[in-house]
Amino acid sequence: MWGRESPSPLAGEGWGGWGEGGHLKTILITGAAGDVGSHLRRELAGRYALRLSDIRRITKPTQGEAYVRGDVARLGDMLRVTKGVDAIVHLGGHSGEGPWKDILRANIVGCYNVFEAARRNGVPRILFATSNHATGFYQRDERIDHRVYPKPDSRYGLSKVFGEQLGSLYSDRYGLQVFCMRIGNVNPAPVDKRRLSLWLSPRDLAQLVQIGIEHPGIRFEIVYGVSNNQRTWYDNSNAERLGFRPQDGSEPFAAAVLAREKSSNDPIAETYQGGTFCRAEVGGDPARSYPRRRKASRR
C-alpha cells in the first residue's frame, strides 16, 4: 500500500533542526555536487550540519559543511559516509536516461547500498529523490496522486520505482523512516511548457526536504516534489497532509515560456507526462542513443 498514515501534521512543531539531546542534526546529502544538491546546500545553510558526499569533489565547503568523498556503488564507502548522521537525503546517481550499465551501477546498486548502509549504521530516516519519470507514462490529461501504480517511462524511471520499493521494504522490514519525493524539475524558473506542470522552486524544494527531515510521523511516504503550479498533473494531497505549503507557482512564467517554445510535432512526447523520455530508441543498442552525461535540461 502506498502512503501509510502518519499522525499529526507539522503545524506548530519546531523547525529548528535540533536532534534529541540538543545537538544540531547532521544531514548527509549524497550527490551533493549536483544541481539539486547545490540548491539544497544554499537553502539549508545554517539549519543543519551538512555532510556532503559525491564522487565529484566539492572544493569549497562553507561553514557548517563537510565534504566526504563517496561512491554510492561501493557499499564500503556508504558504510563510512552514513556513520552517525540523523538523516540522509539521497540524490547521488545517474540523473537522466542512460545506458543500463550506468543506471544499474549508480541507481540500483547505489540505492541499495545507501539503504543498507543506513540500516547497518542505525540511521533512522532516508529522503529519496525519486522522479516524475517513475510515473511518466501517465497521460497529460490525467491527474495522479501518490497511490497510483507506477508507470516508468525509461530505465531511469524504472530505477526510481526500484528505489521507492526498496524504501517500502526497508520501512516495513527494518523500521526505517522513508520519504520519497517524486521531483518534477528543480530550477530557479520553469524552462518550457512541460515544466510549467512540473516546476519545483528551490525554496519549495527546501520546505519539502525539511518536512521529510522533521515530520515526526513518517514511516513510508510518497509525495510529489512540485510547486503550486496551476497546470499540475498531480494531486499532491499527501504532501499537503504533511504540511507542505509551496510558496511558488509556474503561472507567472507561462506567457513568456509559451511564447518562446516552438510547437512540437512529437505526438508521444506531447501525450505523456514523461515527454521525450517516453520515446522508444530506434535500433539495437540503447546505450548508443545516450551520451554518458546529459544535463538537467530534459528532465
Ligand X SMILES: NC(=O)c1ccc[n+]([C@@H]2O[C@H](COP(=O)([O-])OP(=O)(O)OC[C@H]3O[C@@H](n4cnc5c(N)ncnc54)[C@H](O)[C@@H]3O)[C@@H](O)[C@H]2O)c1
- The owner of cell 497511490 is 147
Output the residue with the shortest Cβ distance to ligand X.
34
* Pick 158 or 183: Cβ nearer ligand X: 183
Contact 242, 9 (CB under 8 A): yes
Give CA–CA dist 214/192, Å, rounded: 33
Site for ligand X in 58-97 (CB under 6 A): 71-73, 91-93, 95
Contacts of 268 (CB under 8 A, 6+ apart): 278, 279
The binder of ligand X chosen from 3, 17, 34, 190 (CB under 6 A): 34
37 binds ligand X (CB under 6 A): yes
Integer CA distances (angstroms), 254 to 56, 70, 229, 249, 259, in order? 35, 40, 10, 10, 8
* Grid coordinates belonging to 105: 551501477
Contacts of 262 (CB under 8 A, 6+ apart): none
From 48, 67, 156, 272, active-site residue: 156
Site for ligand X in 4-33 (CB under 6 A): 30-31, 33
Residue 14: CB minimum distance to ligand X, A: 27
Contact 250, 229 (CB under 8 A): yes
How many helices and strands in the chain, by DSSP H and E?
A: 10, 9
Residue 156 annotated in active site? yes
CA atoms within 13 A on the CB side of 44: 33
Residue 5: CB minimum distance to ligand X, A: 26
Residue 233: CB minimum distance to ligand X, A: 14
* Pick 110 or 212: Cβ nearer ligand X: 110
* Pick 25 or 195: Cβ nearer ligand X: 195
Site for ligand X in 117-136 (CB under 6 A): 129, 131
Residue 76: CB minimum distance to ligand X, A: 13
Integer CA distances (angstroms), 265 to 104, 110, 147, in order? 32, 37, 32
Task: Write out the catalytic residue numbers.
Answer: 156
User: Which chain residues interact with ligand X by CB under 6 A?
Assistant: 30-31, 33-37, 54-56, 71-73, 91-93, 95, 106, 110, 129, 131, 183, 185-186, 296, 299
